[in-house]
Amino acid sequence: MCSFHSSLLGLLVALLANVSSAEDSAYYGYGKTATLNEISGWNIDVRPDGQGLPPGAGSVEDGEYLYEDKCAQCHGSFGEGNNQFPALAGGEGTLTDQRPHRTVGSYWPYTSTLWDYINRAMPYAQPESLSDSEVYAITAYVLFLNDLVDDDFVLSFENFSTIDLPNKSNFVPDSRPDTFNVRCMRGCKEPDSIQVVTSVERQPALVGNEQPTQLSAQLSAQPSAQLSDPLPVPAGEEIYRQACGLCHDNGVTGAPRPRDASDWRGRVGQGMPVLVRHAIEGFQGESGVMLPKGGFSYLSDQEVAAAVHYMVGENL
Amino acid sequence: MGKSDKQAGKVLLSPELARRRFLMSSMGLVGGAAAGLLPGVSASSNNLPPNVPAWTRSLGSGVLTNPYGQPSPFESNVQRRTVDWLTPDRIASISFTPLADLKGIITPSGVVFERYHAGLPVIEPAEHRLMIHGMVDRPLIFTMEDLMKFPSTSVIRFLECPANGGMEWRGAQMDGVQFTHGMLACCEWTGVLLSTLLSEVGIKKGANWILAEGADGSHMSRSIPMNKAMDDAMIVYAQNGEMLRPEQGYPLRLINPGWEGNTCVKWLRRLKVGDKPWHHREETSKYSDLMPDGTSREFSFVQECNSVITSPSPEKPWKQKGRYWVEGLAWSGHGKIKHVDVSTDGGITWREARFTSIVLPKALTRFGIELEWDGSPLLLQSRAVDETGFVQPTYAQLRKVRGTNSIYHKNAIHTWQVRPDGSIANVQLS
């Protein structure tokens, strides 16, 4: 038994030795070398010092046209923001107000932050669809909306670093911890000093029913609103809400609106199979373009069809 | 095989079981309906002693009825919820973890809060790549298969959106712990230490920052300091024992333990090593803390010590006078939780609660304390202390330094008002 143990121990030592020699190498050789060509397709980041910025230029004039076409629907023609989508302009001097208004002009630190973000994430439903010169032009136009450049300005690789955003110097490092509570156990407050200042009432009828309820706050920082309904809605409507509504709610680029009979007149006549096919495969019409599945490629054909039925159903 | 099983099952189905199965499936369809509201499924006296319930007098369904199991349909109220007015749509939005109904410290993967900046992408793992380049000796591209060959590590860590509780800076507003504190979860995360991958590519001298970037439409990007990358940051592919859920970044995400959730970039596709931070949109325009003097704190990474009582809560009211087990969660991005104290009088006197879970660094820790309730109104609070000695602040202390417009990192002592009828209100005190 003793010899069995020692031979087992010997085996263990041998195994451990093997394992540790593998871990000691610190280099596994997994993965493949990233080629310059491969890196170039993903290497999109831009820094304040201009690192990563591609050569090119774009004018405020070109930017205005592009902005109206691709950005104004959500951000407003003057950068004022629509339907809760962010405002891009205005708000100068409000950062110390009760209700600060944070925009590119009033809050953002660097022109590079703007260029990088438009390039990586905008337009919202079609990221990475803009050319470099289009990103330059839209960036220039947003600067113009904030009165930071004139209407004949052309933003370029060369003059990029000369455009400072006003709030740059107000970004500071994190200085926490900045609160210094103590672990008091007894007599920590004067009883008279304790007042309920704000309170949220749960609807009495719903207490215990564990359903989300409407908010009613005595002091509300936001408009009072309904919490999400936990009950599933019909699939077509759900898909519509999550994907299609982004454009179809407001008729972006000629998209027919679900509750607008005039939008659907002439379309419904083609028959559902045609409408569904256009939605799945994409369609270039007189009034605008429908991307295949609206750009939401993860949707199945059935899901797209369900969404079309929901939209058309509203008009039958 | 599945088909013949099903057919065999059909033959065996008693009328009672068929009826019950029908009820179960229709409940599945109605989702959030409370069990007690459905006729025939409520806990009627027919099922209580001395009667023998129907389920005890019949056969249940066979194996593989649910090849991937789901919670009981009677738990269908336990789900993520959102607050629609917070965001313009649900594509760049957030949903909240149902904290009041959860037990222990592990958040079930299916109810971990969601945060998307451009919706939930569907990524084919075979075509997903992680690129590491920049100031490195060997720029590399890894497949998922490559990454899973590296030594793997599993840790239990909390994940919290820095905007958790951000709606409460100006006053009590949200009706329920799901909404006041539910941008919070704690999972076991499995993957590769980022330091392992960094030594694989070889970091050049002077490299101080790493840009992490997602493969979703927003290309979410954050600058991460090198010391965090070399400390405990992880490239994670699994969560709670299975591959990451799509909502949590399938097939790959970054986890920066104890740091704001936004830095834990999901659907991770690229790490670029550099000498300076990038000051991108999600670390300047967003996820920066505006102070009363107009300055903004940038790169405010750590989620400081925080706690909340999850029961009672607006979702878990008390029904009558008597003895109650009060419980909640505490966490700190700086390490372990050292103490949690509970007050019933709005913070005049405190009693130490006890830990009812394992206490891990940068993880949710569950605490509890027994309370005798005589029906009088209470102002119930919890206050956590972490291993650095940091004591969770009051609202007054927080607002004195940070005002009410900093949106992020609100970790104030929270108050539930217990009303004489046992209902629970979210309140704030002077």
pLDDT higher than 50, residue B38: no
Return the CATH number of the domain spanning residue range A235-313.
1.10.760.10
CATH topology of domain A45-170: Cytochrome Bc1 Complex; Chain D, domain 2 (1.10.760)
Q: Which residues of A touch B294 (CB under 8 A)?
A: 95-96, 170
Assess whether the region B109-297 and the region B306-427 belong to the same CATH fold: no
Rounded CA-CA distance B127/B124 in Å is: 5
Residue ranges of domains in chain A: 45-170, 235-313
User: B90-104, pLDDT tens digit by residue?
Assistant: 999 999 999 999 999
Q: Which is more confident, B155 or A8?
A: B155
For range B9-22, the mean pLDDT: 41
* Least Cα separation, residue A268 to chain B (angstroms): 28
Q: Under CATH, which number does the domain B306-427 receive?
A: 2.60.40.650
Is the Cβ of B27 closer than 8 Å to some Cβ of chain A?
no
Identify which has the larger pLDDT, B383 or B34.
Answer: B383
Q: Does B85 touch chain A (CB under 8 A)?
A: yes
pLDDT for the residue numbered A234? 52
Q: Which CATH number fits domain B109-297: 3.90.420.10, 3.20.20.70, 3.40.50.300, 3.10.180.10?
A: 3.90.420.10
pLDDT for the residue numbered B126: 98
pLDDT digits (tens, 9 = 90+) for B224-270: 999 999 999 999 999 999 999 999 999 999 999 999 999 999 999 99
pLDDT in tens, B284-342: 999 999 999 999 999 999 999 999 999 999 999 999 999 999 999 999 999 999 999 99
Q: A238 vs chain B: nearest CA distance in angstroms?
A: 11
User: How much of chain A exceeds pLDDT 90, in percent?
Assistant: 53
CA-to-CA distance for A159 and B52, rounded, in angstroms?
83
Task: Return residues 80-139 of A near B (CB < 8 Å).
Answer: 83-85, 95-96, 100, 102, 104, 107-110, 112-113, 116-117, 120-121, 124, 127-128
pLDDT of the residue at A39: 98
Q: A38 contacts in B (CB within 8 Å)?
A: 131, 141
Mind listing the pLDDT tens digit for each residue in A193-208?
999 998 997 644 333 3
Inter-chain contact A26–B280, Cβ cutoff 8 Å? no
How close does chain B come to A160, measured CA to CA in Å? 16
Query: pLDDT band for position A213 (50/70/90)?
Result: very low
Using CB atoms, pick whichever of A96, A112, A219 lies closest to residue B294.
A96
Residue A3 pLDDT > 70: no
Average pLDDT for residues B363-372, to the nearest whole number? 98
Per-residue pLDDT for A248 more than 90? no
Q: Identify the band that residue A291 occupies on the pLDDT scale cut at 50, 70 and 90.
A: confident
| Closest CA of chain B from A68, distance in Å | 20
The token pair at A45 is: 């980041």
A227 in contact with chain B, both atoms CB, cutoff 8 A = yes
A123-172: pLDDT as tens digits: 999 999 999 999 999 999 999 999 999 999 999 999 999 999 999 999 99
Residue A11 has a pLDDT of 53
Whether residue B188 is predicted with pLDDT greater than 90 in this model: the reply is yes
Average pLDDT rounded to a whole number, residues B25-46: 45
Mean pLDDT across chain A: 81
Q: Is residue B33 scored above 80 in pLDDT?
A: no
User: Which pLDDT belongs to residue B10?
Assistant: 36
Is 60 exceeded by the pLDDT of residue A187? yes
Q: Is it the case that residue B1 has pLDDT exceeding 50? A: no
- What rounded mean pLDDT belongs to chain B? 91
pLDDT the model gives residue B40: 42
As a whole number of angstroms, the distance between CA A206 and CA A215 comes to 12
Could you tell me which residue, A212 or B401, shows the higher pLDDT? Answer: B401
Q: Answer whether A45-170 and A235-313 agree in fold.
A: yes
pLDDT at B116: 97
A189 touches chain B (CB under 8 A): yes
Which residue's structure tokens are 């504190």? B181
SS3 sequence of chain B: CHHHHHHHHHHHCCHHHHHHHHHHHHHHHHCCCCHHHCCCCCCCHHHCCCCCCHHHCCCCCCCCCCCCCCCCHHHCCCCCECEHHHCCCCCCCECECCHHHCCCCCCCHHHCCCECCCCCCCCCHHHCCEEEEECECCCEEECHHHHCCCCCEEEEEEEECCCCCHHHCCCCCCCCHHHHHCCEEEEEEEEEEHHHHHHHHCECCCCCEEEEEECCCCCCEEEEEHHHHHHCCEEEEEECCEECCHHHCCCCEEECCCECHHHCCCCEEEEEEECCCCCCHHHCCCCCEECCCCCEEECCCECCCEEEEEECECCECCCCCEEEEEEEEEECCCCCEEEEEEECECCCCCEECEECCCCCCCCCEEEEEEEEECCCCEEEEEEEEECCCCECCCHHHHHHHHCCCCCCCCCCCCEEEECCCCCEEEEEEC
| Domain spans of chain B, in order of start | 109-297, 306-427
C-alpha closest to that of A93 among A80, A106, A82: A106
Whole-complex ipTM? 0.89
pLDDT-based confidence at A9, cuts 50/70/90?
low
Backbone angles phi, psi at A248, to 5 degrees: -75, -25
